[in-house]
Structure 1
Amino acid sequence: MDEGTRNGLRFELLGPLRALRDGAEVPLGPPKQRAVLAVLLLQEGRSISYDGLVEAVWGGAPPLHVRNLVQKYVSGLRRALGDAAELSWTGSGYRLTGADIDDLRERRRLVDEALAARRAGELWRAGELIERAEVLWRGDFAEGLQAPYLATERVRWAEKRLTVLEARLAGAIELGQSFEYVHELVRLVAAHPLRERLVELLMLALYRTGRSSDALSAYEAARQRLAEALGADPGPPLRSLHTRMLRQDRDLLPPPPLAVS
């Protein structure tokens, strides 16, 4: 049984912050109070100093009466959480105990299992586990909460999400599912035009579905984007893939279909 179930509250941050009790959302107060809760949850039971909390939520220019605001939000959170979690002053900082970010923990478990499955050559299972992890996302990390610390975490988690998606797509291509994922890769490259790993995967998916000219065009488009935006050439992996396609490297051909018993 998970911590959120034991304490009657389930906390989620893979999207807008929410706390659920028996499936119903618990009111958590105004946006800054919710930001305070998100920062405290992300400490995972560790104490955060008053100054650290202010810096995390308001940055270097807090409002004039920020101490009163912190006390107000802490009191509001204690009322909202009730006995499901303990928000205490340790003498040197605030600490939230008895609470866990349930969707983050579930995601970590699923991704760890997926990586283990991939290392074991179980590509189908790895893909299924990653898809289950992806379903946990309801939007951007801590979506809608304005706080410097959360903005940094939002970028970090967006990167982690993309890296896992790339692993899922790479596995699907290895399994001969290139056709099914071309459209998703086109969408992802449009959303992240300077991300070379996505371009590699798109090129390979196109090549393996008989669209070699489109694959080469995808490389050229990426090369131009990188030159215009960064003044840089594609990195070695992307250049190598392009060269192999020009040479019609047989290792780039799709794998044989799985035998049906």
Structure 2
Amino acid sequence: MTEHDALRDQRKSSGLTQSELSRLSGVSVRTIRHIESGHVARPRHESVRRLFAVLGPPATRALSVDVLGPLVVRRGGVLPISSPQQRALAGLLALQPNRIVSHAETVDVLWGHTPPATHRELLYAIVSRLRRHLGDTAIETTGSGYRLNVEPDRVDLCRFAEQSARAQEGGDPQAFTEALGLWRGPVLADLPEALRRHPRALSLQQQRIETAVAFADRAFPGRAAAVLPWLAELAEIEPWHEELHARLILLLADTGRQADSIFAYQRIRDRLDRDLGLLPGPALKRAHESVLRQEVPRADDADRYGTGRW
């Protein structure tokens, strides 16, 4: 079976339209259509990776939940959970797998500070219906709240934490790539702000930045191309993060894109001034000066360019 046949068959068996798969994976509908029709003989590896990250292996019946991007829940295929409140509850529980999430936090996420008078009955109904999708034992009810029972290696945030720790400990470029490759977009990108701004979601995004920065610090000299796509994507999501943008400026210069590097500095300098009323900090200034002097960081520049000094 060819790659385009496998993609089409697996998408259909999961019950997803091309538009739904596009939303969940971050790959355009046009690209999906061209891959499935065979019009693209050699599709981009990153596009294929993102698509099958959503579709997953068709044979497994174990519950898996991905939150590093739009919410994806699978059990032998993507589960079509259409109810916004059921999706919100699944996302909240998946942010804290195998931990009890209190009734108070659940109510706050689903209804905010003004829950309806019948919120207890409504919550009971939402949990019951979500169990029908996930399986009877997936959501455990306790005296203080609810717990999602799922194997850690079936939750992408757990795999990311493990891969990130291994990458930063050993400095293996492949481990960095695998850790960052688990991300399809912001945490729970298709769910309400209460979940996107949840402390756990913000903590995961910070870990993503730290992983990308650590990868960048190990990319000097001459290996910037491997990390540059991750930094560029994150820089769009984090427009004021100075340490992140400082690495982007240096890596652009290291790949010979001097003009793009200078433009990247000017963009964040102007953005800091316009949006926050701030001047560039030490990290951005050092990066800009290094580019102007055409200095390329060396392996023994760890103290200067490492995370502890930026």
**TM-score under structure 1 length normalisation:** 0.74
Q: Does the Cα contact within 8 Å between 1:14 and 1:142 map onto a contact in 2?
A: yes
Q: What amino acid sits opposite 1:111 in the alignment? A: S
Is the alpha carbon distance of 1:179 and 1:109 closer, same or farther for their aligned partners in structure 2, counting shifts above 3 Å?
A: closer
Q: What amino acid sits opposite 1:158 in the alignment? A: Q
Per mean C-alpha deviation after superposition, the further-off stretch among 161-170 and 127-136 is 161-170
Q: CA deviation at 1:54?
A: 0.3
Q: Which residue pairs with 2:223 in the alignment? A: 177
**Cα distance in structure 2, aligned partners of 1:147 and 1:228:** 25
Is the alpha carbon distance of 1:51 and 1:175 closer, same or farther for their aligned partners in structure 2, counting shifts above 3 Å?
A: same
Structure 2: gaps spanning 5 or more residues: 1-58, 300-310
Aligned length: 240
**Cα distance in structure 2, aligned partners of 1:77 and 1:183:** 37
**Cα distance in structure 2, aligned partners of 1:191 and 1:46:** 29
Q: What amino acid sits opposite 1:30 in the alignment? A: S
Q: Deviations over 1:88-137 (max 9, x none)?
A: 2x23333333554521111111111101112xxxxxx2x21121122222
Say which structure, 1 or 2, has more relative contact order (CA 8 Å, 6+ apart): 1
Q: What amino acid sits opposite 1:32 in the alignment? A: Q
Does 2:88 align with 1:35? yes
Q: Which residue pairs with 1:140 in the alignment? A: 186
Percent sequence identity is: 32
Does 2:122 align with 1:69? yes
**RMSD (Å) for aligned C-alpha atoms:** 3.3
Is the alpha carbon distance of 1:59 and 1:94 closer, same or farther for their aligned partners in structure 2, counting shifts above 3 Å?
A: same
Is the alpha carbon distance of 1:179 and 1:132 closer, same or farther for their aligned partners in structure 2, counting shifts above 3 Å?
A: closer
**Structure number with bigger Rg:** 1
Query: 1:1-261 counterparts in 2 under 5 A?
Result: 8-22=62-76, 24-28=77-81, 30-88=83-141, 90-98=142-150, 100=152, 102-118=155-171, 125=172, 127-146=173-192, 148-152=194-198, 153-172=200-219, 174-178=220-224, 188-209=234-255, 215-246=261-292, 248=293, 252=296
Structure 1: gaps spanning 5 or more residues: 119-124, 256-261
Q: CA deviation at 1:176?
A: 0.3
Per mean C-alpha deviation after superposition, the further-off stretch among 231-240 and 185-194 is 185-194
**TM-score under structure 2 length normalisation:** 0.64
**Cα distance in structure 1, aligned partners of 2:129 and 2:213:** 41
Q: Does the Cα contact within 8 Å between 2:215 and 2:227 map onto a contact in 1?
A: no
Q: Does the Cα contact within 8 Å between 1:78 and 1:86 map onto a contact in 2?
A: yes
Q: Does the Cα contact within 8 Å between 1:11 and 1:103 map onto a contact in 2?
A: yes
